[in-house]
Amino acid sequence: MTKRLGIVLLATVGLASLAHAADLPTTKAPAAAPKPNCWESVWTWLNTSADDCPIGAYGITLYGTLDVGVGYQEWGAFRNPSADKLNYGVQKSGHEHYLQPTYNALSSNVLGLKMKEDLAPLGLANWSLVGVLEAGINPYSGILTNPIRSLADNNLNAANGSVVINGKTFFNHWQTGNYDSSRNGSWDNSQGYAGISNKTWGTLTFGRTNTLSYDTMNKYDPIASTAFSQIGFSGSFPGWGNTELNRFNTAFTYKVAIPDVYAFSTVRLAGQAQVGGYGMQNGSMGSYFGQAGFDWGNFSFDAVVGWAKDAVSLSSFGGSPQPPCNGDIYAIKVNNTCQDPNSILKATLSNNFGTDLMASYKWDQFKFYGGYIYARDSNPSDSFLTGFKTIYPAVSVPAGYFVKGVLTNDAVTSNPFNHSRVQQTIWTGVRYSVPDYWLHGYGSLDLAAAFYYQWQNNYNFSVDKLGNTIGAACTGTGAFISSSKCGGAIDAFSFFADWKPVKRVDIYAGVMIQTVYGGLANGFFNTAAYFNPVTKTFITTQHAFTTNYDPTIGIRVRF
C-alpha cells in the first residue's frame, strides 16, 4: 500500500506544481462562430452539439443517449434485463469468462426531457423555470432500469453456482448480473425535478435528484465511465458505502456559482436536504449534503461533506434460505413464513458520514485529476425489524418474527458496525486531447489513464455472553478469508481512448484491471462439479477469482 500511496502523492505533487504556474486568462475570447444549419443533412446534425441543435420547442427539449458495444469480462455474468450494467468490475456473481454485447460502458442509456422557461415576460427578469425528467433504459430489453428487480431475480440463484434443495446440492444455479442501485424502475429513475433559477442567486429545485457527491465526483474522474472507472462502476464510492445514496427521491437542492470572487474566476456553493424517508422511496430516513468549490485559472477544486441516517444497502438471498416451502419450489422460507422470492430482499442498515476532496488542472492538451474520499459507516439509528418498502415499491424487506418474546429479523442486518467501518479512497489520472493538426480534420481523440485505490479498516467483531463487543480474529486469505469485515483493499488500473468522428458520436475502447484483497476479497470464488466416470460420483472444486479485466469497445450516440 505504501508504494501505491507514493505513486499518488507524486502525482499530486506534480498536479500542485502545475497549478502554481497556472496562467489566468488575459485575452478576450474570439467571436462566437455562426450556428450551423442543423437539419441540412444527417451528417450535419451529427456534427453539431445538443446545445447548438436541440430537439424541442417552447422551452422543452428532448434528449437521449444510446451506448452499446461488445466486451469481455474475465469473470462475468450474463446480463440481466433489469440491471444497469454488466460485471465490469470484480463481482461475487462472476463465474464464467464472458464475451457478450455490452451497454452503459461509457455512460447510461437514457431518454429525457429538460425544461428552461424564461420568466421575463412575466416581469421576472433573469428568472426561469427549470426541470428535468429522465429515465434510464436497458437497451436490449427495453425495460426501465431497475437494479432492485435484478437482485430479486437472483434470490434462488447462488453467486458461487451451488444451491442446496432438500439436502441435495445442485450446481449451475448461476446468478445473472445483479446490483443495488439508486434507480428504481420508475419513469424518472434517473432524475425528475423542477425548480426556479436566477443568473445571480442560483438554482433551487425539488424532486428526484442526483446527490452532490455523485454529480461532483463524475466531474473529477479522469475517465468517468461505468466500465473503465472504479468509482464509476460502483455507486458505493459517491454513496460513502451505500449505492442508494446517489439519488434522493424527495430532496431540496440549492446551487449557486459566484463569478469573480477575489482571485477566483468562480466560487461554487451548494446544499441538499432529503425530506421524507423510506415511505417516499428514499434510500435513507434522512440525508444532508453540502458543497464548496472554486475555479482559479485552469485549476478547479471541490469539497463535499454529508451525512445519512438509516441508509439502506440491499442484497439478494443468493440461494439461501433454500426452497421448497410448503412444497412450493418457487417459494423460500424467511422469518418463519413462506415468501415470494420475486418480492423480497435483505437489507443492511447504517448511518453514513463522508467527505470528498477533488481537484483538476488543465495544462495545454493535458488535464490532471486527483481525489480523496473518507467514508465512515456506523450502526443505524433505527432497526426496522418490522420490515419496510424498498425504493422499488414492488419489493420489500419482510417483517421479522418473535423468538422468546424478542423481535428478530433474518432479512435485516441492523447492527453490522459495532466497530465502525472506515473506507478511504484515492485516485489520480490524466486525460490527453490529441491536437487537431494530428487528426487532419478527422474529429477529436482523447486518451486517458487512471489509478484508483480503496482500503478499509479491520472492523470484524464478536459479542461476548455479557453483550460486550470485542474484536474478532481474521483467518484465511484472499477469497477464503473468514470475513468481509477484515481489513482489505481494492485497486484498479484503467486505460481509455475516445474518438469523436462527429460531435454527437463517441467510438471508444478501454479496459479496467481490478483486484480485491483481504476482507474485500471475501467470497469471490465459484464452485464447479465434475463427473468422475470411474467412481460415478461428482467431484466439486472451488476456484477463487480476485482479479477481473474487461476490454470493451463501443459506440455512444447522443441527441
CATH code of the domain containing 213: 2.40.160.10
Burial of 413 (0-12, 13-18, 19+ CB in 10 A): middle
d(CA 543, CA 556): 36
d(CA 293, CA 303): 6
Phi and psi at residue 420, in whole multiples of 5°? -60, 140
Asked if residue 459 lies in contact with residue 415, where contact means CB atoms within 8 angstroms, the answer is: no
Domain-embedded: residue 213: yes
284, 417, 554 from 288: Cα distances, Å: 11, 21, 37
Domain-embedded: residue 7: no
What single letter denotes the amino acid at residue 342? N
Point out which residues pair with 267 in neighbouring strands.
258, 294
pLDDT of residue 17: 39
Residue ranges of the alpha helices (H) in 77-187? 147-153
d(CA 95, CA 210): 33
Phi and psi at residue 278, in whole multiples of 5°? -60, -35
And the C-alpha cell for 182?
Answer: 439508486
d(CA 182, CA 486): 27
Domain-embedded: residue 511: yes
pLDDT of residue 43: 83
Domain-embedded: residue 50: no
Domain count, the chain: 1
Domain-embedded: residue 41: no
Asked if residue 23 lies in contact with residue 298, where contact means CB atoms within 8 angstroms, the answer is: yes
pLDDT of residue 449: 98
Asked if residue 89 lies in contact with residue 514, where contact means CB atoms within 8 angstroms, the answer is: yes
pLDDT of residue 367: 98
Round the CA-based radius of gyration of the chain to a whole number and report it: 25
Domain-embedded: residue 145: yes
d(CA 390, CA 396): 5
Domain-embedded: residue 554: yes
Give residue for cell 453490522. Answer: 416
pTM: 0.89
- What domain range includes position 320? 58-558
pLDDT of residue 22: 38
pLDDT of residue 158: 80
45, 351, 413 from 68: Cα distances, Å: 21, 37, 37
The DSSP output letter for 31 is P
**Length of the chain measured in residues:** 559
Domain-embedded: residue 42: no
What single letter denotes the amino acid at residue 490? I
- Mind listing the pLDDT tens digit of every residue in the chain (559 residues)? 444 434 333 343 343 333 333 333 444 555 656 666 787 888 888 888 878 888 988 889 999 999 999 999 999 899 999 999 999 999 888 777 889 999 999 999 999 999 999 998 888 889 999 999 999 999 999 999 999 999 999 998 887 766 666 666 666 678 899 999 999 999 999 999 999 999 999 999 999 999 999 999 999 999 999 999 999 999 999 999 999 999 999 999 999 999 999 889 999 999 999 999 999 999 999 999 999 999 999 999 999 999 999 999 999 998 777 667 887 878 889 999 999 999 999 999 999 999 999 999 999 999 999 999 999 999 999 999 999 999 999 999 999 999 988 999 999 998 999 999 999 999 999 999 999 999 998 999 999 999 999 999 999 998 888 888 898 999 999 999 999 999 999 999 999 999 999 999 999 999 999 999 999 999 888 776 666 677 767 677 778 899 999 999 999 999 9
